[in-house]
Amino acid sequence: MATVNFVCWGNICRSPMAERVARGWAEREGLTGVSFISSGVSSEELGEPIDARAQRVLARAGYTTGGHRAHRVTAQEVREADLVIAMEPLHLRHLRRLAPDADNLALLTDFDPGAEPGSGVPDPWYGSESGFAGTLAAVEAAMPGVLRRVRELTT
């Protein structure tokens, strides 16, 4: 089974949103043989659920929101995952320091042909719920490319 780990800062906004969207899209498309997880580079939010604003945006779009507890990514998780997808270049730098030999790292926006290369997904935590809707749009725009890569990993 392939594993894809989405990573953001605290694992309460962007990365669990991407995890939930990826699960939903994979299920809808009948893609099996892959596990989607998420984590953060920080321990600030350990044990916390998905941010309430992210939960509302995800639920309105038809995605699941329950059962999440934030955790910090480990070097072992990075090495064992088939693909680790960071939300910002800052997260990539953290992941590279954590696992310098990792060759499975990417930015979410790498999978969106309409995104500016290296741009990353802005952190919605500091703003209103509309920022979370923007995060969802960015995640969904990248999802066809993410799932293409996942298919390559599972065949």
Of the candidates 13, 14, 51, 110, the residue annotated as catalytic is 14
DSSP 72: B
Q: State whether residue 52 is helix, strand or coil.
A: helix
- Has 14 been annotated as catalytic? yes
| Cα angle 7, 10, 13; round to 5 | 75
Residue 153 CA to residue 82 CA, distance in Å, equals 7
State the amino acid at position 38 in one-letter form: S
- Has 13 been annotated as catalytic? no
Please report the beta strands in the chain, taking only residues with DSSP state E, as ranges in sequence order. 2-8, 34-40, 83-86, 105-107
Q: State the burial class of residue 35 (Cβ atoms within 10 Å of its Cβ: 0-12, 13-18, 19+).
A: middle
Of the candidates 72, 79, 82, 123, the residue annotated as catalytic is 123
Active-site amino acid positions: 8, 14, 123
